[in-house]
Amino acid sequence: MAFHALEKLINLQDGYKRAFKIAGQDVILVQENGRPYLLANTCPHMGVSLNSATLLPQGLIRCNAHGIEFDLESGRALGPLSSMLECLQKFELVYDGPNIGVDL
Ligand code: FES
């Protein structure tokens, strides 16, 4: 396991979204409501990447493939399919001086 710097903290702002491939894993760094999240870049519904997903100010991310919204904090889907879907896979972010990254 090794630290991988993803972004300078100064560049993060609400609405930030950028995909990375780290240690063979597709991840996406997002920020909404002042909080950054690192997610597996795969929608739990049908596996579409979240590159074109929309961040919503309520702390949600909407996958634009079929419109399902997920709560960034809990990872849970909203709406009628919520009980049938896995949560978003999240990774713990690590702060290292001026950078934010992940240990993978
Ligand atoms: S693949 Fe994301 S909502 Fe269907």
| CATH code: domain of residue 36 | 2.102.10.10
| Assessment of whether the complete model's pTM goes beyond 0.85 | yes
Q: How many CA atoms lie within 13 A of 15 on its CB side?
A: 0
The pLDDT assigned to 53 comes to: 98
Q: Which of 39, 17, 51 lies closest to 86, judged by CA?
A: 39
pLDDT per residue as tens digits for the range 39-86: 999 999 999 999 999 999 899 999 999 999 999 999 999 999 899 999
Query: Considering the chain, what percentage of its residues have pLDDT values greater than 70?
Result: 100
| CB distance 86 to ligand 1 below 6 Å | no
Q: For residues 102 and 18, what is the distance between their CA atoms, to the nearest angstrom?
A: 14
Summarised one tens digit per residue, pLDDT across range 65-77 is 999 999 999 999 9
β-pairing, 25-32 vs 35-40, is antiparallel
Domain that holds residue 77: 3-103
pLDDT given for residue 65 in this prediction: 97
- The residue to mutate among 42, 43, 62, having the most atoms of ligand 1 within 8 angstroms of its beta carbon, is 43
User: What's the domain count of the chain?
Assistant: 1
